Amino acid sequence: AVLAKDPYGEDCRYQQYPPTGATFRGSVPDYIINLDLPPRERWVQLAHEKKDELKTIVEHIKKVMIVFFPSGKLLHLLESKMAWLGSTLPYPFNEEIEGIAHAAEVGLGDIVVFNVFYEIFTV
Amino acid sequence: CTSIIAEDKAGKLYHARNLDFGLFLGWDIKNSSWIVTQILKPLMVSLDFQRNNKTVFRSANLAGYVGMVSGIRPGIFTLTMNERFSIDGGYIGVFEWIFGKRDGWWMGFLTRSVLENSTSYEEAKDRLTNARLLAPAYFILAGNQSGQGSVITRSRTAALDVWNLNASFGTWYVLETNYDRWKVPLAVDDRRTPAMKCMNRTMQQNVSLPALYNVLSTKPILNKLTVSTTLMEVSEGRIETYLRDCPDPCSPW
């Protein structure tokens, strides 16, 4: 069998660094996480400053779930159970997640989903 | 995702990764991109975890996620994780957790714990190899000495393979996408072959963070799912993260 050439492939790139041009979207902001603080307080500044972006991703995940399960029953079930799941997570992660949900003004269950998404997504 | 560890002729180790995420979670026709990938970009941050005003470890992370997908313990080791898809996937581990079997680690919590608490490459490798997990994963771990680099292929319960750097026998880099190294990647998602081609062209004597950035900027290693590129150099404790775009024509994954 003859495989077709990858239509999106290209020759190896050179001279891309320092990042500029069309493939470079920007740098990322820096934050300090103080591990001496109680877990609930560690992420407050970051979660507060990124609350709009967090709400956007949470709302989108909900929209995707509605597409696959239009009745909304699964979504309601998950929302009610995820907060409980959060309480079963090991210390200090459970408390850090609670602190993020509070600071970002997002439901605890939603932040729990965001934090366990990898385990669900690997299917 | 694509993660690479490379060792130069002097034994210096470099570690870099593309973070790809958002497949099948909605396509934005207008902007020709995955919706989740675009939404995640403003959430990317660079974090410095400190105790007593001193850096313990640093990471490139998504705001709101307390686990780690890329991080560096300066002077000691660097770590990235790539998704590993399996029928025996994380949902089974989640169900087990819900029903009270809680002896496994959530992936992100394990990587966070390793970065926060492990004080050597060997200790980190041992934990990543032997800890019980809720979901399969690839851990890509590099130390600060020649030969200290490995790709650990994990099922939920065991290490299926540990692929080590061995520059004196020609293995001067290890490279992981989202497929077991002993299996052929899907023909429509082969980022491994072009990445290896570019690494081989780069050659060991030219390895550097800019060289790895070049490889990770080549399509389809750079693709529509790519959120960011992170570059790490352990001896200097250097970590740099850049948000990425992949203008058309560009592979959707």
DSSP letters of chain B? -EEEEEE-TTS-EEEEEEEE--TTS-EETTTTEEHHHHHHGGGEEEEEEEETTEEEEEEEEETT--S-SEEEETTTEEEEEEE---SS-HHHHHHHHHTT---SBPHHHHHHHHHHH--SHHHHHHHHHHS-BSS-EEEEEE-SSTT-EEEEEE-SSSEEEEEE-BGGGTB-EEEE-SS-TTSPPPGGG--HHHHHHHHHHH-GGG-SHHHHHHHHTSTTTS-TTEEEEEEEETTTTEEEEEEE--PSS----
Nearest residue in chain B measured CA to CA from A97:
B66
Nearest residue in chain A measured CA to CA from B42:
A53
Q: Which pLDDT belongs to residue B23?
A: 84
pLDDT exceeds 90 at position B86: no
pLDDT tens digits, one per residue of B89-115: 888 898 899 999 999 999 999 999 999
pLDDT exceeds 70 at position A123: no
pLDDT exceeds 70 at position A41: yes
pLDDT exceeds 70 at position B237: yes
Q: Which pLDDT belongs to residue A79?
A: 79
Q: Which pLDDT belongs to residue B91?
A: 84
* Nearest alpha-carbon partner for B85 in A115, A57, A113, A120: A120
ipTM reported for the complex surpasses 0.90: yes
Which residues of chain A make contact with B89, given a CB cutoff of 8 A? 119, 122-123
User: What interhelical angle do A93-104 and A73-88 show, nearest 10?
Assistant: 130
A19 to B213: CB separation less than 8 angstroms, yes or no: yes
Q: Which pLDDT belongs to residue B138?
A: 98
**Cβ atoms within 10 Å of B79's Cβ, excluding its own:** 28
* Nearest alpha-carbon partner for B213 in B195, B235, B237, B225: B195
B90 to A29: CB separation less than 8 angstroms, yes or no: no
Interatomic CA distance for residues B84 and B210, integer angstroms: 27
Take residue B223 and report the two structure tokens written for it.
């693709």
List Cβ neighbours of B3 (8 Å cut-off, separation of 6 or more): B15, B16, B17, B18, B80, B82, B138, B140, B151, B175, B176
Q: Which pLDDT belongs to residue A72?
A: 80
Strand partners, B156: none
List Cβ neighbours of B101 (8 Å cut-off, separation of 6 or more): none
Q: How far is A15 from chain B (nearest CA, A)?
A: 7
Of B56, B94, B250, nearest to A116 by CB-CB distance is B94
Take residue B47 and report the two structure tokens written for it.
């974090």
Q: Which pLDDT belongs to residue B4?
A: 98
Cβ A85 vs Cβ A116: under 8 Å: yes
Take residue B118 and report the two structure tokens written for it.
């492990």
Cβ B62 vs Cβ A87: under 8 Å: no
Q: Please, is B155 exposed, middle or buried when counting C-beta atoms within 10 Å of its C-beta (0-12, 13-18, 19+)?
A: middle
Q: Which pLDDT belongs to residue A30?
A: 98
pLDDT exceeds 90 at position B184: yes
What is the maximum span of chain B, computed from C-alpha positions, in angstroms? Answer: 53
Q: Which pLDDT belongs to residue A1?
A: 47
A7 to B249: CB separation less than 8 angstroms, yes or no: yes
pLDDT tens digits, one per residue of A1-23: 456 678 899 999 999 999 999 99
pLDDT tens digits, one per residue of A68-99: 888 888 778 877 889 999 999 999 999 999 99
Take residue B91 and report the two structure tokens written for it.
């949902």
Q: Which pLDDT belongs to residue B87?
A: 84
% of chain B surpassing 90 pLDDT: 93
pLDDT tens digits, one per residue of B16-25: 999 999 887 8
* Nearest alpha-carbon partner for B134 in A62, A88, A35: A88
Cβ-count burial A1-18 (b if 16+ within 10 Å, e if not): eeeeebebbeebbeebbe
User: Which one has a higher pLDDT value, B239 or A82?
Assistant: B239
Of A17, A19, A31, nearest to B47 by CB-CB distance is A31
Q: Please, is A67 exposed, middle or buried when counting C-beta atoms within 10 Å of its C-beta (0-12, 13-18, 19+)?
A: exposed
B36 to A60: CB separation less than 8 angstroms, yes or no: yes
Tokens 């970009």, residue located: B41
Q: How far is A64 from chain B (nearest CA, A)?
A: 7
pLDDT tens digits, one per residue of B45-70: 999 999 999 999 999 999 999 999 99
Of B51, B108, B217, nearest to A118 by CB-CB distance is B108
Q: How confident is the model at residue A61 (pLDDT cuts 50, 70, 90)?
A: confident
pLDDT exceeds 90 at position B10: yes
User: Which one has a higher pLDDT value, A83 or B128?
Assistant: B128
* Nearest alpha-carbon partner for B133 in B112, B113, B154, B118: B154
A60 to B102: CB separation less than 8 angstroms, yes or no: no
